[in-house]
Copies of this chain bind each other. A is one copy, B any other.
Amino acid sequence: MNGSIPVIVTGAAGKMGRQVIQAVAGSNDMILMGAVDRQHLGADAGEVAGVEALEVPITPDLQSLCALVAQEKQAGVLVDFTHPRSVYENIRAAIAYGVYPVVGTTGLSLEQIQALAEFCDKASMGCIIAPNFSIGMVLLQQAAIQASRYFDHVEIIELHHNQKADAPSGTALKTAQMLAEIGKTYNPPQVAETEALPGVRGGLGPEHIRIHSVRLPGLIAHQEVMFGSPGELYTLRHDTSDRSCYMPGVLLSIRKVRQLQQLVYGLEKILD
């Protein structure tokens, strides 16, 4: 325990927070030092997360916990899966106390991220903000960018359960944007295409990348990027079945953030 990384979890009673507490409790190089939430106040964070009692009560007070962790020998880490309203202040508080933030909460504005980056620079503190902690998805996106240099034709199919209201998925659109950044227009037409049913050829994303969204009960969360050239297809597919898939990325971030002296955005920045 002596060399363990002290970890504070905000949003401790939420779905992601509970997963993080389970993952931290199951890792032998970190230790849960604090759990913040407005619900389940006073309850044991481990029991709320469905693991054994960890003797860490849920409190509403992040500042005091940061002050406590600041006294540890080992530099501490804050893992924040909370809400657009609270995430900015949580990160500032952590950095002020020398606690390194790992942030999965979405909704920070570009201005806020810029301000936090400057705050990190002044303090020479690392901070990792990532919209997606799935290592598999980041690997898929990196491999797709690599393939985009050699293939001129690509379409994306994303498939989700039919409770999902928006289409395309944010992740599929992000993938398309990453492919578009290389600066070429995909899918030069070979024939004059006609659509007998409007929409059948999918949505036209950036740089002519076609995106197709399938919604069915029984699906969970899936993304497929298909590259084609004469005589060959190269397909990258990611299937998510469970929130636990984000934990390897969160744990990797906890281990790496303390070696950084600046804010980085995106899990891909710390995959080497």
Interface residues of A (CB under 8 A from B): 134-137, 139-140, 142-143, 146-147, 150-151, 153-155, 157, 162-168, 173, 187, 189-205, 210-220, 226-248, 271
Contact = CB atoms under 8 A, between A and B. Distances in A.
A167 B192 CA distance: 11
B211 A167 contact: no
Given A139-B234, A238-B232, A201 B199 contact: yes
Contact of A210 (B214, B228, B235): B214
Q: Please give me the 7 A-B residue pairs with the lowest Cβ-Cβ distance, nearest first.
A: A197-B203, A200-B203, A216-B228, A231-B242, A231-B245, A199-B199, A218-B228
Given A196-B173, A199-B201, A234-B139, A162 B168 contact: no
Given A146-B143, A231-B245, A195 B200 contact: no
A240 B236 contact: no
A212 B203 CA distance: 10
Contacts of A233: 136, 216, 218-219, 237-239, 241
A199 B214 CA distance: 11
9 contacts: A153-B218, A202-B212, A217-B231, A218-B229, A218-B230, A219-B228, A231-B242, A231-B246, A235-B236
